Amino acid sequence: MQIKFHGHACIQITGQEHSILVDPFLTGNPVAVESAETIQADTILLTHGHDDHTGDAINIAKRNDATVITIVELAAYLSLQGLESVVPMNIGGGASFPFGELKWVPALHSSSAIVDGEIIYLGNPAGFVLQMEGVTIYHAGDTALFSDMKLIGERYAPDIAFLPIGSHFTMDPTDALLAAQWLQAKVVVPIHYNTFSLIEQDGHEYAEKLKQFGIKGIVMEPGQVLDTSTWQFV
């Protein structure tokens, strides 16, 4: 399995038969190196409704005839925008899909969109645990630190965790360091930082600090691809 980082919080998980895109934000993303028009995926997962996580979801889904899986209110909103293949779920809910097992877990954040000058509520934000081809992936979405990350670690023992470190809107590196200890993932990748000036952080310093807890930190630059069999770039 390979995981590609598209910048910000957007990752793409590609296995033998399926390719899953998470929180697609490429158009207007100053660090993205790939156009939304070139992305190919059969499934899109959305953690919440903010436009730096959903920005290209509708266009990519329509062009690829992809299924979007997300929290129920956001799913309803996307259906109203013309998407035909949308699967609504909710926090604590899980299901089996052709690509693997998916479970939605809590995140402490918010979720909304601004439409015609009005704020539209889009349900609770979430993270997810994905078990696919023998690899367990935790994507925290946008979140503050919360103690139930210990439970996520105990129950799912993720092989790799994607954690926001940008501060201002999410955890900062100090909180994300504690989150990594609670999760005890084999590999931790920092996300949601350095896209804009408000969330500037040192991802390499964060990864270096993970070593003292026996956790492998990997800093991914937009466009890089990680092979989960070796945890090396390809």
**Mind listing the pLDDT tens digit for each residue in 213-234?**
999 999 999 999 999 999 999 9
Residue whose C-alpha is closest to residue 178's, from 207, 156, 210, 152:
210
For residue 88, give its domain range. Answer: 2-233
Q: Is the dihedral of CA 64, 67, 68, 72 positive or negative?
A: positive
For the segment 97-126, the average pLDDT, to the nearest whole number, is: 98
pTM (2 d.p.):
0.98
**Using alpha carbons only, what angle is made at residue 131 by residues 125 and 135, rounded to the nearest 5 degrees?**
125
Q: CA torsion 84→85→91→97, rounded to 10°?
A: 170
* Distance of alpha carbon 131 from alpha carbon 183, whole angstroms: 15
pLDDT for the residue numbered 180? 98
Q: CA torsion 160→162→165→168, rounded to 10°?
A: -150
Residue 141 confidence class, pLDDT cut points 50, 70, 90: very high
* Distance of alpha carbon 23 from alpha carbon 80, whole angstroms: 19
* Distance of alpha carbon 74 from alpha carbon 76, whole angstroms: 5
* Distance of alpha carbon 69 from alpha carbon 98, whole angstroms: 13
Percent of the chain with pLDDT over 70: 100
**Mind listing the pLDDT tens digit for each residue in 52-102?**
999 999 999 999 999 999 999 999 999 999 999 999 999 999 999 999 999
**Mind listing the pLDDT tens digit for each residue in 9-43?**
999 999 999 999 999 999 999 999 999 999 999 99
95 neighbors 71 (Cβ within 8 angstroms): no
Residue whose C-alpha is closest to residue 199's, from 146, 151, 142, 152:
142
Query: What is the amino acid identity at position 2?
Result: Q
Residue 112 confidence class, pLDDT cut points 50, 70, 90: very high
pLDDT for the residue numbered 163? 99
pLDDT for the residue numbered 57? 98
Domain count, the chain: 1
* Distance of alpha carbon 97 from alpha carbon 169, whole angstroms: 32
Q: Where are the alpha helices (DSSP H) in 85-232?
A: 149-156, 173-183, 203-210
* Distance of alpha carbon 103 from alpha carbon 105, whole angstroms: 6
pLDDT for the residue numbered 24? 98
**Mind listing the pLDDT tens digit for each residue in 163-218?**
999 999 999 999 999 999 999 999 999 999 999 999 999 999 999 999 999 999 99
pLDDT for the residue numbered 222? 98
Give, as one character, the DSSP assignment of residue 66: P
User: What's the CATH code of the domain at 50?
Assistant: 3.60.15.10
